[in-house]
């Protein structure tokens, strides 16, 4: 077979990513982000266990706008990972494998993630 006769795969900018693929990638990324968030949690706990100046420094970092942005990102990662994990538990039970059901549950995960993150920070 001649190389020029072989079909070409669509470019990433042309191919439409299904919601299930996007959520699968985001599920992995949020797992890694939450692992990195443990470093922030450990720094906060060390600051709380140390001198008042140490805690003040860590609280000042986390209270600044970049620190708040990081905390909002961690809460978004947590809620996305949680909602998508529940979705996977439903799949493990053998439900929701039809394409339309998988697409609807994916959209539901995205909506719930945003709503839970906004609600958390509104109540905080």
The answer to whether residue 21 is domain-embedded is no
The answer to whether residue 17 is domain-embedded is no
- Structurally, the chain folds into a number of domains equal to 1
The CATH code of the domain that includes 109 is 1.20.1300.10
Residue 13 CB neighbour total at 10 angstroms: 5
Domain span at 102: 27-123
The answer to whether residue 68 is domain-embedded is yes
Ramachandran region of residue 96, left (φ > 0), alpha (ψ -120 to 50) or beta? left
> What confidence score (pLDDT) does residue 15 get?
78
The answer to whether residue 6 is domain-embedded is no
The answer to whether residue 22 is domain-embedded is no
The answer to whether residue 15 is domain-embedded is no
The answer to whether residue 100 is domain-embedded is yes
The answer to whether residue 4 is domain-embedded is no
| pTM passes above 0.75 | yes
> What confidence score (pLDDT) does residue 4 get?
67
Contact between 98 and 47 under an 8 Å Cβ cutoff? The reply is no
Q: What is the mean pLDDT of each run of 10 residues along the chain (124 residues)?
A: 65 81 96 96 95 94 96 97 98 97 98 98 94
């Amino acid at each position: 077979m001649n190389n020029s006769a072989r079909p070409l795969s669509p470019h990433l900018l042309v191919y439409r990513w299904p919601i299930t693929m996007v959520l699968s990638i985001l599920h992995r990324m949020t797992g890694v982000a939450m692992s990195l968030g443990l470093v922030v949690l450990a720094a906060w706990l060390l600051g709380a266990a140390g001198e008042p100046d140490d805690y003040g420094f860590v609280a000042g970092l986390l209270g600044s706008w970049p620190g708040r942005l990081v905390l909002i990102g961690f809460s978004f990662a947590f809620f996305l990972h949680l909602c998508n994990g529940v979705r996977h538990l439903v799949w493990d039970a053998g439900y929701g494998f039809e394409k339309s059901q998988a697409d609807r549950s994916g959209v539901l995960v995205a909506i719930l993630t945003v709503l839970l993150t906004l609600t958390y920070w509104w109540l905080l």
